[in-house]
Amino acid sequence: MKIAVCVKHVPEGHARIDPGSKRLDRTGEGALNHFDANAVEEALRLKGDSDTEVVAVSLGPAKAADSLRKALAMGADRAVLVSDDAAAGSDLVATSAILAAVLERESADLVLFGQQASDADGAVLWAAVAERLRRPVVSQAAELTVNDGSLRAKRQTEFGYDVIEAPLPAVVAVSDAINEPRYPSLKGIMGAKKKPFDTLTLGDVGVDAGSAGEAGSQTEVLSLGEPPSRGDARKIDDDGSAAQQIVDFLAEKRLL
């Protein structure tokens, strides 16, 4: 079996949006999106001692290689980075097209995603990628088993857990409740340097530059502004009358 895990390299620490390009500033230090570590871990758990191949896939700047190396250090067998200046600023439509193109090349039995990107708070990519690959998709998987060409997942929803079965090949986004990602061992980190690592351009995966980056995007950021502030915040110390003061406050706000 072959499992592809999609990972994202996200800015570390205090993220900012560049006022000029109106894009997230990706020039600083970055790290593997921690939700994606759950997807890598799940791939490694499914692999176990079998001969299943786990390939980590990313789309991002050259620095995204660091996050792929972390996936390799955790135990992935191979990494593929699609990195191309023309891909910068890609929205969902463009990003899903590029990822689908590289995943098409890999033709994995199972494609795994983490539950969201910690930088853009996006939780939409897998469904778009699955649609482009024309494969079944299950998101928010809190448990996953794979058997005989099909998968079974327990999906967390607002209404409890759905148990879903789907034939492979399929796309699954795992919830961060599914496992506790391992830390790479020193041996893993050293070994990662020798594992196969491909860096591809848009041309290599057969995506036209016009379908990527801002040119291929259908959404845009128009302007950046300040969020509305909470005007008259009050803070009191409880002197025994706090409960009454809260009731008065709620009444004043017409919430009672």
Partner 1 sequence: MSTLVFLEQHGGELQKGSLGVLAKAASLGDTVDAVIVGEDARSLAAKAAGASKVYVAGDEALEQPLPQPRVDVLAAIVRDNGYETVLFANSVLAADVAAGLAARLDAGLNWDLVDIESRDGTLVGKRPALQDTVLVDVGWRSTPRLALFRAGSFDAGEAAGGEPQVEEVSVELQEHSTGAKLVGHEQEQSAGPSIEDADIIVAGGRGLGAPESFTLAEELAGALGGAVGATRAVVDAGWYPYSAQIGQTGKVVSPKLYVALGISGAIQHKVGMQSSNVIVAINKDPNAPIFEFSDLGVVGDVHEIVPKLTELVKQRKAG
Binding residues among 166-195 for partner 1 as defined by CB under 8 A: 166-167, 170, 175-177
Instruction: List the one residue out of 173, 175, 87 whose CA is nearest residue 127.
Output: 173
| Residue 46 near residue 146, CB atoms below 8 Å | yes
State the Cα angle at 190 between 33 and 31, rounded to 5°: 15
* Piece of the chain touching partner 1 by CB under 8 A; list 61-69, 75-83, 183-191, 218-226: 218-226
Contacts of 238 (CB under 8 A, 6+ apart): none
Binding of residue 222 to partner 1 (CB under 8 A): yes
The strand pairing partners of 55, in sequence order, are 4, 78
User: Cβ 213 to partner 1, closest distance in Å?
Assistant: 13
* Piece of the chain touching partner 1 by CB under 8 A; list 42-50, 57-65, 74-82, 225-233: 225-233
Whole-number Å distance between alpha carbons of 253 and 212: 49
* Piece of the chain touching partner 1 by CB under 8 A; list 47-55, 76-84, 122-130, 199-207: 122-130
The strand pairing partners of 171, in sequence order, are 111, 137
Q: Which of residues 96-115 bind partner 1 (CB under 8 A)?
A: 96-97, 115
Residues in the chain: 256
Measure Cα distances from 53 to 31, 109, 113, 225, 245 in Å. 23, 10, 16, 46, 62
Q: Which of 155, 192, 205, 213 binds partner 1 (CB under 8 A)?
A: 155
User: Cβ 135 to partner 1, closest distance in Å?
Assistant: 6
User: Cβ 97 to partner 1, closest distance in Å?
Assistant: 8
Binding of residue 162 to partner 1 (CB under 8 A): yes
Residue matched to tokens 């176990």 = 48
Q: Which of 131, 193, 203, 206 binds partner 1 (CB under 8 A)?
A: 131
Q: Which of residues 14-73 bind partner 1 (CB under 8 A)?
A: 15-17, 22, 35
* Piece of the chain touching partner 1 by CB under 8 A; list 55-63, 70-78, 134-142, 185-193: 134-142
Question: Could you give the maximum distance between any two Cα atoms of the chain, in Å?
Answer: 70
Binding of residue 147 to partner 1 (CB under 8 A): no
* Piece of the chain touching partner 1 by CB under 8 A; list 49-57, 67-75, 184-192, 211-219: 211-219
Q: Is 3 exposed, middle or buried (0-12, 13-18, 19+ CB in 10 A)?
A: buried
Contacts of 49 (CB under 8 A, 6+ apart): none
User: Cβ 240 to partner 1, closest distance in Å?
Assistant: 8
Binding of residue 145 to partner 1 (CB under 8 A): no
Binding of residue 136 to partner 1 (CB under 8 A): yes
Q: Which of 13, 20, 159, 186 binds partner 1 (CB under 8 A)?
A: 159
